[in-house]
Structure 1
Amino acid sequence: MSKPIFQLKDVTKTVNAGSPEELNILNHLNLDIHDGDFITILGSNGAGKSTLFNSITGNIVPTSGDIIYKGNRINKMSVVKRTKFLSRVFQDPKLGTAPRMTVAENLLLAEKRGEHRLFNLRGLNKQLPLFKKITAKMNNSLDKRLNTPTGNLSGGQRQALSFLMATIKRPDILLLDEHTAALDPNTSEKLMKITNETIIKENLTCLMITHQLEDALKYGNRLIVLHKGAIAYDFNSEEKKKLSKEDMYKFFNEK
């Protein structure tokens, strides 16, 4: 197997150190992420899912352990610098987009992610055919709203835009932070289908937090279960095929 492109080695994040409330939100967590991995992540509230993502993005600096990208230790690399190879879609459709800017303007900004840039509207018209093409694949009329301020979109359209912005410039690591959780079931299913198709077609490396057991079992080549800040299980494709929702319910009940 090839070397991991991203690693967390013995990572701990401690809060309230030295007090009776001291707690390791991440507890000596180890994770190797390989090129092309699509890892779904399950865990109860407080298991460390958000802290894991915030450690990967640089929003949180580990108390101990190492964050490694392509063999280099990046513990203190800024969030901004990490956007050169990382992108993230949040649960809240309002996050990740600029509400007063149009759909096309948001996409134009996303195209320059991780670069030193000046926002130049004169380059917008050249990109409109591309933006129309990629928004059309979302099948939610987003392609007809390129000149609409993002704040005027529906929640589903805005989340679809967030996903397009995160993937328009192929990231080395894509983080999906319960990105369908705030949507109605029909919209959620459509976005999840397009998400999976995009990840497969572009061979993206992706980590997806979800509370939907069906999605965790259906999508991806790996499933990890977090418990008390550590990885309790790391199932590969073949192991996942043997799991059922009942198995996962039993796991949570046991814990």
Structure 2
Amino acid sequence: MLRKVFSIISKSNVVVEVLDAREPELTRSKTIERFSKEKGKKILLAINKGDLVPRDVSEKWKEYFEDQGLMAVYLSATGHMGTTVLRKEIKKLLLGKEGIVCFVGYPKTGKSSIINALKGRHSASTSAHPMELGYTKAPQLFKIDNKIYAWDTPGVIPPDGDPVERIIRGYSVDEMEDPVKAAVLLIKRIEGFDRKSLEEVYGEYKDPYDLLAKIALKRGWIYKKSKEPNIEEAAKVVIRDYHEGKIIYFSLPPQRSR
């Protein structure tokens, strides 16, 4: 899949790497960035899902990337915020000329949603969950302006990608080999941010496994033979709720050295 994305990048003038505003650094692909630079492509980072984090957090990430010499904008494709700025930046990089833009990034960062917003009407397929209906499985070309065409590419997680992001974005929730393990890793990450984010959605709990058990019991998901709570189904709920932005969570950029 990575080779296919590389092939599309080679045919494009500008590469827009779409990041999740909740975890911009962990949804970056240094592999794709290196390849794009080697091919002489202009790179623009689009920090999407800005509606899920405070605006000042997105601004800090924008400044963080710009300090590294990278162009960045923040937006929310579904929240109708920042797409006009993104369009202007793309036109600047194309020097007002006709060109092709390649949208790349991890699964579920919102590449298709951004293209839909830029087009002004829906036709690029989207889905809240990886590998399910609407997930971009093959490159698609769309016209987003009089002179601009955009490639919507399949989400790709690089070999050196973050292990938690790899699990929760790389597979459909129903296709995960061990959704409990994935949910526990995700819960622990969110707890590091603010345990209350989980308690506000699911109520108080002792530990990740207790949280999953309570979700299962509340929904009546109990194994008939053992009478134990079905924490596998509960784990899927947590992962889906995270994908859908129902759990408040975000990270801050590393502090810059003075």
TM-score by length of structure 1 reads 0.29
Query: What TM-score do you get using the length of structure 2 for normalisation?
Result: 0.28
Comparing both structures, which one devotes a greater share of its residues to helix? 2
Between structures 1 and 2, the one with greater strand share: 1
